[in-house]
């Protein structure tokens, strides 16, 4: 199944032009056979904004106004599962629980909706995006195939959501306004990787993120710089990536995200063709599978292996833990090396040691 290129473009446009989110959410929901979609952006643990498609709007607004005191166990259970993808309501609650669920009975069923599925997208900077899709009354519950179809868009939602949550789901008036609102190191790039604009936080990274001949953006770390050059080329072809910048003596690991600026986003970012955002992932604990998958496009199996290694387990123990051969684990590890831009286990562990798990932020 190929991705809808127009939908991908709209996802990245919506990151800068929030008026596009309702249409994006409706189209994303349709990929999984659903009729409604919503998202809530959190900056740290505080809501930064929300938006929804037409069929979800009244119920979601009602819930956010009147349901704040009701505990929603679904995102909490999803966090505990650490599954890097969409989970249906019946995968985190029993049918009996759903029948008694106050949120469903007060804010979902009265508005013609019956089943939901959602995913939590985390970033190392503490930003979080909750994406939720819903099926109408009378429709069948979500099956795994439908959710896996939506999951194919999830890495793109992860990158776009970082910018969206930093903007608080509101439009910036121009490039200067947008880059200040982001609150992260941000560098606007031309199609060939030349710096168009940079905010003060980006300038502060001048010992690790540099410019070379013709103002071309570059990274001091050689392997990471090779990945950056490749990512800029791929962005021109419509592909996007997140690039790890390993920790070094006295400096924490960083993640460099390259987001394409397409369509209406050019109205804000003028001559820029992509936006480079940098997040600091300094923290002492092993990362969640959810976070690893969002950062590096790891499959669930690859994310599980990476997290186990980051927790200190040797390869043979990881294989025994998952009931797989050591060779299978080595094959998955090779894929992780490729996607994270590392070549040795010690490099991978040093990078992953900087990605902290989120502490159950939702109620």
pLDDT (mean) for 114-131: 80
Compute the mean pLDDT over every residue in the chain, rounded to the nearest whole number.
Answer: 79
At residue 136 the predicted structure's pLDDT band, cuts being 50, 70 and 90, is very high
Going from the N-terminus, what domains does the chain have, and what CATH number goes with each? 5-166 (3.30.450.80), 175-280 (3.30.450.20), 289-352 (1.10.10.10)
> Sorting pLDDT into bands at 50, 70 and 90, what band is 35?
very high
For the chain, the C-alpha Rg in angstroms (whole number) is 20
Contacts 24+ apart (CB under 8 A), 138-142: 138/114, 139/33, 139/34, 139/35, 139/114, 139/115, 140/115, 141/88, 141/89, 141/90, 141/115, 142/32, 142/33, 142/34, 142/86, 142/88, 142/89, 142/90, 142/115, 142/117
Distance CA 306, CA 315 (A): 10
Tell me how far apart the alpha carbons of residues 248 and 18 are, in angstroms, rounded to a whole number. 37
Catalogue the E-assigned strands of the chain.
36-43, 46-52, 87-88, 113-122, 127-136, 186-189, 195-198, 209-212, 216-219, 241-245, 254-260, 274-280
| pTM, two decimal places | 0.62
> How many CA within 13 A on the CB side of residue 158?
32
pLDDT tens digits, one per residue of 153-170: 988 887 776 666 655 545
Looking at residue 181, what is its pLDDT?
56
User: For residue 32, is pLDDT > 90?
Assistant: yes
Q: What is the pLDDT of residue 283?
A: 45
pLDDT of residue 162: 66
């Amino acid at each position: 199944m190929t991705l809808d290129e127009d939908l991908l473009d709209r996802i990245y446009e919506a990151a800068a032009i929030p008026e596009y989110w309702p249409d994006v959410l409706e189209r994303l929901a349709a990929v999984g056979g659903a009729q409604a979609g919503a998202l809530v952006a959190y900056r740290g643990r505080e809501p930064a904004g929300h938006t929804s498609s037409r069929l979800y709007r009244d119920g979601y607004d009602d819930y956010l106004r009147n349901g704040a005191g009701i505990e929603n166990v679904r995102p909490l259970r999803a966090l505990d599962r650490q599954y890097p993808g969409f989970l249906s309501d019946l995968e985190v609650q029993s049918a009996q629980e759903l029948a008694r669920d106050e949120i469903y009975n007060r804010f979902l069923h009265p508005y013609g909706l019956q089943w939901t599925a959602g995913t939590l997208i985390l970033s190392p900077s503490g930003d979080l995006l909750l994406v939720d899709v819903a099926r109408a009354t009378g429709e069948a519950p979500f099956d795994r195939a439908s959710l896996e179809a939506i999951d194919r868009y999830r890495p793109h939602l992860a990158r776009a959501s970082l910018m969206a949550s930093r903007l608080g789901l509101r439009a910036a008036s121009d490039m200067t306004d947008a880059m200040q609102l982001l609150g992260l190191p941000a560098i606007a790039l031309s199609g060939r990787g030349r710096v168009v604009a940079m905010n003060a936080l980006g300038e502060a990274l001048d010992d690790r993120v540099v410019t070379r001949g013709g103002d071309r953006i570059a990274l001091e770390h050689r392997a990471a710089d090779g990945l950056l050059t490749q990512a800029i080329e791929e962005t021109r072809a419509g592909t996007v990536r997140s690039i790890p910048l390993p920790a070094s003596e006295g400096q924490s690991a960083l993640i460099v995200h390259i987001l394409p600026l397409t369509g209406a986003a050019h109205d804000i970012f003028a001559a820029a063709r992509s936006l480079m955002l940098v997040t600091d992932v300094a923290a002492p604990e092993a990362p969640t599978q959810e976070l690893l998958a969002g950062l590096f496009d790891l499959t669930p199996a690859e994310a599980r292996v990476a997290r186990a290694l980051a927790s200190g387990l040797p390869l043979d123990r990881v294989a025994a833990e998952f009931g797989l051969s050591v060779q299978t684990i080595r094959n998955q590890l090779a894929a992780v090396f490729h996607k994270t831009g590392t070549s040795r286990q010690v490099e991978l562990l040093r990078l992953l040691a900087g990605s902290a798990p989120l502490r159950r932020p939702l109620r």
